[in-house]
Amino acid sequence: MPDISLAALTAQLFTGLVLGMIFVLLAIGLSLIFGLMTVVNFSHGSFYMLGAYLGFALVGYTKSFWLALVVAPLLVGLLGLGVERFLIRPLYGRSIDDPLLLTFGLSAVIIEAVRLVWGKIGLSLDPPRALGGAVNLGFGMFPTYRLFVIVVTALVLVGLWLFLERTTVGLVIRGGSRDPLMVRALGVDLRRIWLLVFGIGSALAGLAGILAGPMRSVYAEMGVTTVIESFVVVVVGGMGSLPGAIVAGLLIGQVVSVTTFFAPKLAEINVFLVMALVLLLRPSGLFGEAGLME
């Protein structure tokens, strides 16, 4: 049995919070896209990976992590726009499997392209100097960079919330995910909204990638398991629900962290156990609406 001091447990909860924040960033993009257009975007993990790689390249060119942190997600977002416009759009109105298969294939293409450009060997992305060390938070040393990840994610979430709740475009997005037919009847061109939302979702994945880069190692397959974990978060939170993605992301982060503390071998399984449990009790997830998948 490990030492269950308050300090150790607090450190563990903080660690779980960072894991949760990355989950939230990834899940929110997936959930936005699914909620509005019922597209299960399997290339999300590759966008995440691409965020890290573009971040690496931009840090190399500009020598500025801060610039890369802004530009890399924007570039991934641009790619997302292109993907929606030229690949996904022709598939609207067809079964939910078609875009799923398409994005699954796209993800393989992106991985192969990254191998061609940057090689099969992994890269190392360093945190900026100012965020390099660790700070004493009373319960022990905690990496400065991870605190920074918490802050950035929180800011992005607040910004996204304001955008969705306080702007006209946000209103249309919310309306569009509730009742697309009605919104169309009001004379709104939903295609432009879909394009925008796919871009935002992709950019969020890219942001998660460049944020995760300095903590983890960067390699072409880094998104493969991450996309599965993100889907678990989306399913637990409820497909299409933003509050669901946030709550579930933070929940899964703590489940991983706390299980790791007591029984490391169970950490992976417990995530799926939570998913099974949630689905048994609430088949549409914690905050989900029934019927979206039909």
Partner 1 sequence: MNRRAFLATSAAAAATAGFPAILKAQSKDPLRIGCPLPLTGPFAALAADMQRGAVLAADELNTKGGVMGRKVEVLFRDDQLKPAVGAQRTKELIENERVQFIVGGLAAHVQMAINEQTKKSKVLFVSTSQSDEISAKPDTSPITFHEALNPTITSRVVGQWVAQNLGKKWWIIYADYAWGKQNNAVLTEVLKKNGGTLLGTTPYPLGSAEFSAHLPKIQAAKPEVLMNVAPGADNVALHKQVISYGMKKEMKIAQPLHWISYLKEGGAELYQDVYGGINWYWELQEQIPTAKKFVDASMKKYGLPPGDYGAYSYSGVLEVARGVELAKSTDADAVANALRKNPIYDHFKGKQWWRACDNKSFQDMWIGRGRGPGQTKGDWGLLDLVAKVSANEEYDRTCAEKGHA
Point out which residues bind partner 1 (CB under 8 A).
2-3, 5, 7-8, 11-12, 15-16, 18-19, 115, 119-124, 126-127, 133-134, 140-143, 145-146, 212, 214-217, 219-222, 225-226, 256-257, 260-261, 264-265, 267-268
Q: Quote the least distance from Cβ 265 to partner 1, whole Å.
A: 6
Nearer to partner 1, 164 or 267 (CB): 267
Nearer to partner 1, 124 or 167 (CB): 124
Q: Quote the least distance from Cβ 127 to partner 1, whole Å.
A: 8
Q: Quote the least distance from Cβ 129 to partner 1, whole Å.
A: 11
Nearer to partner 1, 163 or 262 (CB): 262
Q: Quote the least distance from Cβ 264 to partner 1, whole Å.
A: 5
83-118 burial code (b ≥16 CB/10 A, e <16): bbeeebeebeeeeeeebeebbeebbeebbeebeeeb
Nearer to partner 1, 159 or 264 (CB): 264
Are 197 and 33 in contact, with CB atoms under 8 Å apart?
A: yes
Q: DSSP letters of 127-142? A: PPGGG-SEEE-SSSEE
Helices 144-166 and 242-262 pack at an angle, to 10 degrees, of 160
Q: Quote the least distance from Cβ 277 to partner 1, whole Å.
A: 20
Nearer to partner 1, 15 or 177 (CB): 15
Nearer to partner 1, 125 or 239 (CB): 125
Helices 65-83 and 44-62 pack at an angle, to 10 degrees, of 140
The CA-atom distances, in angstroms, between 109 and each of 112, 169, 179 are: 5, 32, 34
Q: Quote the least distance from Cβ 110 to partner 1, whole Å.
A: 14
In sequence order, the β-bridge partners of residue 142 are: 135
Nearer to partner 1, 132 or 159 (CB): 132
Nearer to partner 1, 148 or 287 (CB): 148
Q: Quote the least distance from Cβ 62 to partner 1, whole Å.
A: 19
Are 54 and 72 in contact, with CB atoms under 8 Å apart?
A: yes
Per DSSP bridges, beta strands 134-136 and 141-143 are antiparallel
Q: Quote the least distance from Cβ 56 to partner 1, whole Å.
A: 12
Number of helices followed by number of strands (H, E) in the chain: 11, 2
Report which of 194, 195, 214 is spatially closest to residue 51, judged by C-alpha positions: 214
Are 233 and 277 in contact, with CB atoms under 8 Å apart?
A: no
Q: Is 73 helix (H, G, I), strand (E, B) or coil?
A: helix
